[in-house]
């Protein structure tokens, strides 16, 4: 089953101060890939390109059998909603919603019910006791786990996580990484994780340093 493939990908911001070029990158389905590098090297930009949040200047981004560069903005959005799971660096939770509402937010708009999966995830991530609590009342670590649960609740085929363990202690960091890897393996999803934590390096079967792709 096809995973994520980047071919001859180029991107630059309008200011022209940042350029990125990837000749070829392939993440097989059900496999995990680590994007490493110090802050400001373009890890998040590459992740957003892979997730279809940014359009490249040139090249091809293929998720499964879908070439994102051939899709319209609306088609990319619909694809993300059903196929992609995203964990943002700042969690991007809606503070006026409860844990349950945040986790199930994308499903509300697709009209699907992912409550059982979301419940199981919440239990695994030890946030189930906050199920009906607004996320504004949670700690940073708990908020991050809610963001992870939201990304996994619809069992996406492609999972992109930006520093998913940044706010967690070592114990919870391993728990979250286990969960991400397990979900990816169970659903044969391709997992891409951006991190600056070198300690996580041994967990990735494949990894790359983004600065290698910045000319």
Q: How far apart, in whole angstroms, are the C-alpha atoms of residue 101 and residue 124?
A: 17
- Tokens of residue 29, six digits: 């389905």
For residue 133, CA distances in Å to 91, 130, 148 come to: 17, 5, 17
Q: Which of 119, 134, 155, 196 binds another protein (CB under 8 A)?
A: 134
Q: Does 82 bind another protein (CB under 8 A)?
A: yes
Q: How far apart, in whole angstroms, are the C-alpha atoms of residue 41 and residue 60?
A: 21
Q: Does 71 bind another protein (CB under 8 A)?
A: no
Q: Does 79 bind another protein (CB under 8 A)?
A: yes
Contact (Cβ atoms closer than 8 angstroms) between residue 23 and residue 8:
yes
Residues in contact with another protein, total (CB under 8 A)? Answer: 23
Least spacing, CB of residue 46 vs another protein, in Å: 15
Q: Which of 108, 137, 178, 212 binds another protein (CB under 8 A)?
A: 108
Nearest to 154 by CA among 47, 75, 81: 81
Q: Does 13 bind another protein (CB under 8 A)?
A: no
For residue 100, CA distances in Å to 24, 60, 132, 152, 184 come to: 39, 36, 6, 13, 22
Nearest to 56 by CA among 69, 43, 72: 69
> Please, where are the H alpha helices in 91-211?
99-103, 105-110, 115-124, 140-152, 170-186
For another protein, which stretch binds (CB under 8 A), given 37-45, 58-66, 73-81, 201-209?
Answer: 73-81
Least spacing, CB of residue 163 vs another protein, in Å: 16
For another protein, which stretch binds (CB under 8 A), given 10-18, 26-34, 98-106, 187-195?
Answer: 98-106
Site string for another protein, 43-62 (x = CB under 8 A): ----------x---------
Q: Does 109 bind another protein (CB under 8 A)?
A: yes
* Site residues, another protein (CB under 8 A): 53, 74, 77-82, 84, 86, 88, 92, 94-97, 101, 105-106, 108-109, 111, 134
């Amino acid at each position: 089953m096809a995973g994520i493939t980047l071919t001859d990908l180029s991107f630059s911001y309008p200011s022209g101060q940042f350029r990125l070029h990837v000749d070829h990158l392939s993440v097989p389905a059900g496999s995990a890939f680590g994007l490493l590098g110090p802050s400001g090297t373009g890890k998040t930009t590459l992740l957003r390109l892979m997730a279809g949040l940014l359009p490249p200047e040139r090249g091809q981004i293929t998720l499964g059998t879908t070439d994102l560069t051939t899709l319209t903005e609306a088609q990319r959005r619909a694809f993300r909603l059903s196929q992609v799971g995203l964990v943002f660096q700042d969690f991007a939770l809606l503070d006026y919603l409860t844990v349950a509402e945040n986790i199930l937010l994308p499903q509300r708009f697709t009209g699907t019910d992912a409550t059982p999966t979301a419940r199981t995830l919440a239990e695994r991530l030890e946030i189930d006791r906050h199920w009906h609590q607004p996320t504004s009342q949670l700690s940073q670590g708990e908020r991050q786990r809610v963001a992870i649960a939201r990304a996994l609740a619809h069992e996406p085929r492609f999972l992109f996580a930006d520093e998913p363990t940044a706010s967690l202690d070592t114990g919870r960091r391993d728990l979250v990484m286990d969960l991400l890897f397990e979900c990816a393996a169970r659903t044969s999803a391709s997992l891409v994780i951006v991190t600056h934590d070198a300690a996580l390096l041994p967990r990735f079967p494949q990894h790359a340093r983004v600065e290698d792709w910045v000319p």
